[in-house]
Amino acid sequence: MRKVKNKKKNTQADTNLTKIKEGGVKTTIIDYDETHYHEKVAENVQECFAYSESESVTWINVDGVQDPQLVKNLGMFFRLHPLLQDDIMNTDHRPKVDFYENNIFLVTRMLSFRQDIKQIETEQVCFVLGESYLLSFQEDKEGDVFDAVRLQLRSKPKGKLRNMGESYLFYVLLDTIVTSYVNVMEEIQEELEELEEKIMNEESIQQPTKKLYDLKRQLVLVRKAVRPLLDATSQLLKEEGKFLDSTNFYMRDLRDRISQVSEGVEIAIDTCKSLLDLHLNLTSKKTNDVMKVLTVMSAIFLPLSFIAGVYGMNFENMPELKIKSAYFYTQYGMAFIAVGLLGWFKLKKWI
């Protein structure tokens, strides 16, 4: 079951938080432009500030958002609106974009499909895009999907990524997230195809309906991440602010990809429904077949057994019993009835 766990946000509470930075939170600073590239893991948040003042692009990535003080400090330095700070720490948001005076705030969800439990796992990723800086916040501490981007930044000084500023970096990171949707959809569709083939061949599958139901649930989860992101991207495209002009074509391309995923999700959900309907039809067809066998068997043997029963009665005066060939005539009669009924069922196309 999907759960809309939006715990009451402490928007109106002045959060005099005393908790000190947890060890689990990891902050990575990357500062680069065409000519230089600097990367370090920050020990404390103040280290970040030094870089952001330069003209070069500063990308601060925070893994784990359990440290309100860190977010608060960053927020103070980059002048992030209190609501934006709350949104970063509340990891149950649906994807959305908010335009603040001096930055753009985007909430997205990264998806991954765990093969072992056939379940989608989802993680919130937020971005704050400002002038010459990009902040990214990942809910989960383990693993890092952005490593590939880092590698590219590091190794290709002549690449677009190094030369096109923070909004291109923003686009590339978003693209990474959309790729995660594509991958998840491929896994789900493989599952779906497998199920479909089994249902079509009427292989004795273990509870196909439950599996279908489960797949549909996973798809609803994907839709929940994709659909609002599509809206958000459209809003990004409409809002022709200073940050995004240079990457307009790229963002448009991204929106096309998202809408392709979104269409794929709808089709897959529809396929689930169709397969369930197909399965119901096939089951009712099978029940009908079983019923026919039962009816044919009963219809033939009930009258025959009745006849046998009649001549098994113990009345003293039953003239037939004394007729010499009565037994054989009875057998012929029985055979005749059986053949007649079989013919009738044949005619009705039951057998």
| Interface of this chain with a copy of itself, residues 283 to 322, rule: CB under 8 A | 283-288, 290-295, 297-299, 301-306, 308-318, 320-322
| Stretch of 2-10, 22-30, 71-79, 120-128 contacting a copy of itself, by CB under 8 A | 2-10
Q: Is 186 in the site for a copy of itself (CB under 8 A)?
A: yes
Q: What is the DSSP string of 66-123?
A: --HHHHHHHHHHTT--HHHHHHHH-TTPPPEEEE-SSEEEEEEEEEEEETTTTEEEEE
Q: Is 157 in the site for a copy of itself (CB under 8 A)?
A: no
Q: Is 249 in the site for a copy of itself (CB under 8 A)?
A: yes
Q: Is 1 in the site for a copy of itself (CB under 8 A)?
A: yes
Residue pair 173/127 in contact by the 8 Å Cβ criterion: yes
Q: Give the C-alpha separation, 340 to 210, whole Å.
A: 44
Rounded to a whole number of angstroms, the minimum distance from the CB of residue 81 to a copy of itself is 6
Q: Give the C-alpha separation, 131 to 242, whole Å.
A: 9
Please say which residue, 65 or 296, places its beta carbon nearer to a copy of itself.
296
Q: Is 336 in the site for a copy of itself (CB under 8 A)?
A: no
**Strand ranges, E, within the chain:** 26-32, 37-42, 57-63, 96-99, 103-114, 119-130, 133-138
Q: Give the C-alpha separation, 77 to 235, whole Å.
A: 27
Dihedral over Cα of 225, 228, 232, 233: its sign: positive
Q: Is 271 in the site for a copy of itself (CB under 8 A)?
A: yes
Please say which residue, 46 or 281, places its beta carbon nearer to a copy of itself.
281
Residue pair 218/120 in contact by the 8 Å Cβ criterion: yes
Backbone phi, psi, residue 243, to 5°:
-75, -30
| Stretch of 24-32, 117-125, 129-137, 264-272 contacting a copy of itself, by CB under 8 A | 264-272
Please say which residue, 25 or 111, places its beta carbon nearer to a copy of itself.
111
Q: Is 83 in the site for a copy of itself (CB under 8 A)?
A: yes
Rounded to a whole number of angstroms, the minimum distance from the CB of residue 99 to a copy of itself is 10
Give the per-residue contact string, 192-221, with a copy of itself (x = CB under 8 A; - = no): xx--x---x---x----xx--x--xx--x-
Q: Is 238 in the site for a copy of itself (CB under 8 A)?
A: no
Q: Is 135 in the site for a copy of itself (CB under 8 A)?
A: no
- Token reading at 320: 């037939």
Q: Give the C-alpha separation, 232 to 238, whole Å.
A: 10
Among 98, 205, 234, 237, binds a copy of itself (CB under 8 A): 98
Residues 6 or more apart in contact with residue 183 via CB below 8 angstroms:
112, 113
Rounded to a whole number of angstroms, the minimum distance from the CB of residue 140 to a copy of itself is 21
Please say which residue, 239 or 320, places its beta carbon nearer to a copy of itself.
320
State the number of binding residues for a copy of itself (CB under 8 A).
Answer: 112
Q: Is 118 in the site for a copy of itself (CB under 8 A)?
A: no
7-36 positions binding a copy of itself, by CB under 8 A: 7-8, 11-14
Query: Which amino acid, one-letter code, is at 37?
Result: Y
Please say which residue, 48 or 275, places its beta carbon nearer to a copy of itself.
275
Backbone phi, psi, residue 12, to 5°:
-95, -5
